[in-house]
Amino acid sequence: MICLRHRRWTTGLGQLDLTGHEDVIRANMQYRKLIRQYGRAAVSGALTQANTILREWAERRSYRTRVDQRMVRFHGRQSKVDKEGPTLLTSYYIPAVALTRLFASPGWKALALNPVGNTEFVAEVRRTVEPRYVWDPRPHYRYVEPLARTLLLQEREHDATSAGRRGEYDVLELSSRPGEAMNEPYRRS
C-alpha cells in the first residue's frame, strides 16, 4: 500500500506522492504496529470490516467528514474523482486504520458492547474515525447502523459459539424486535 522509503501510495490505478501527508504515513506505521501486536490475520480481517463499514457509510452519505476533508486537500472543490484513484483510496485509509485498531482490540470491542463503556468507545470513534458518529443499534426501517450491527453480530456469534462448546442449543434471536433481523443487509426497494 505505502512505500515508506519513497513516501508513495502504491495501491489503486496509480501512485501518489505522500509528501505533506504525514498523517497517512503515521496511519501506515500504526497499521504495521497493529500487525505486530495482534497478528496479520486478525488485523487483515479487522481492516476488511472497517473498509466495509466505511463503504456503507459513504454509500448512504452518512459519515464522511474526514474523507471529504482529505479529498479537498487533494483536489480542492473538484467533484469528479476516479473511484479507484489513489487519492480516494488514500482518503479512506486513515479512518480505516483507526477503525481497524478498534476492531482488532478486544478491549475496545468489549467497551463498545458494554453499556457503561460505550460512551468511551463512541468518543474514541468520534476522535479518530468520524467526528459526527452516533451509536445506534436500533433498526430503522430494517436498517441498523453498520458499526453497531457488526459489533453486535460478532458478540452474538461469539455467544453462540460459546454456547455450542458447552453443549447448549439455545437459538439466538438476531433481532431487537420481532421481524427485524439485524444481520440483513440494507436493500434498496
pLDDT of residue 14: 72
pLDDT at 119: 93
Q: Which residues contact 154 (CB under 8 A, 6 or more apart)?
A: 109
Which residue pairs from 155-158 have beta carbons closer than 8 angstroms and sit at least 24 positions apart in sequence?
A: 155/113
Instruction: Give the tens place of pLDDT for each residue, 26-43.
Output: 999 999 999 999 999 999
Residues in the chain with pLDDT < 50?
Answer: 167-189
Q: What is the pTM assigned to this prediction?
A: 0.76
pLDDT for res 59: 81
Identify the pLDDT of residue 164.
63
Quickly list DSSP for 59-126.
Answer: HTT-S-HHHHHHHHHHHTT-----TTSHHHHHHHHHHHHHHHHHHH-HHHHHHHHSTTTHHHHHHHHH
pLDDT of 90-103, one tens digit each? 888 899 999 999 99
